[in-house]
Structure formats: structure tokens, C-alpha cells
Amino acid sequence: MSTDDDFKLPPRHELDRIISLQEAEQVSSLSPSSWKRNHPDKIVELSPRRLGVRLRDALLLKKSS
């Protein structure tokens, strides 16, 4: 039996993976509302009620500590 977690992207495509806004918040420290307000061009609409961003963008916009 296979699950979605079994699928792995090739390493060269891993940064193009789309993650949820909640995951992006953990990676970048930017809240979902900050993503929507300040970076709407980076948001990918997965369905009418589900949004995500590319892992590459979340890493690039990471807040410095």
C-alpha cells in the first residue's frame, strides 16, 4: 500500500515543491496573513480554499534572526 509520503521528488526539483502556508510559516517565520498581504505574487492557489507557496520562496523570504 502506497501513501503520498512515499513519493519523493528528484533533488533538483525539491525546492520547487509547493508547501502549505502553515509549513511556510514554520520555514520562513512569516505568518499566513503576512504572505497574503506582502507576497501575494508568491502564493499558489491549489483550490478555492487551499493556498501554498514554493519551498524555494519560503526559504528566500526567511526572516533573519
What's the pLDDT tens digit per position in 1-11? Answer: 455 567 787 88
Asked whether the whole model's pTM tops 0.85, one would answer no
Strands 43-47 and 50-54 come out as antiparallel
- pLDDT at site 6: 74
- Is position 2 within any domain? no
Report how many domains make up the chain: 1
Is 1 inside a domain boundary? Answer: no
Q: Give the pLDDT score at 65.
A: 42
17-43, pLDDT tens digit by residue?
999 999 999 999 999 999 999 999 999
The answer to whether residue 10 is domain-embedded is no
Query: What single DSSP character describes residue 64?
Result: P
The residue segments making up the domain with residue 20 are 15-60
